[in-house]
Amino acid sequence: MNIIPRDRFMRIKEVVARTGLSRATVYRKIDAGTFPEQVRIAERCCGWRESAITEWMRDPVAYTVDDYFFED
């Protein structure tokens, strides 16, 4: 039996702590298409999929949003 780990959402503070990037750099990289985009969780709440951040961390220099597609 295969058990697939559940993906979870990370908020900006955790993304900054995990990646070592500043908050401004995270948003600048999103605009450039070189960092995963955040996902709307609620009306006034966004987060990042942990799997997307993990994928970015595997090769941050070569990462482009076009390479990875996650359905909402």
pLDDT one-digit tens code per residue, 13-57: 999 999 999 999 999 999 999 999 999 999 999 999 999 999 999
Quick one: pLDDT band at residue 72, thresholds 50, 70, 90?
very low
Tokens for 41, please give them. 């969780």
Residue 2 covered by a domain: no
Residue 32 belongs to some domain of the structure: yes
Boundaries of domain holding 17: 9-67
Residue 18 covered by a domain: yes
Look at the pTM and tell me if it is higher than 0.95: no
Give pLDDT, residue 65.
81
* Residue 43, domain member (yes or no): yes
* DSSP letters spanning the chain: ---PPPP-EE-HHHHHHHH---HHHHHHHHHHT-SPPPEEEETTEEEEEHHHHHHHHH-TTT--GGG-----
Q: What are phi and psi of 29, to 5 degrees?
A: -70, -35
Number of domains the chain contains: 1
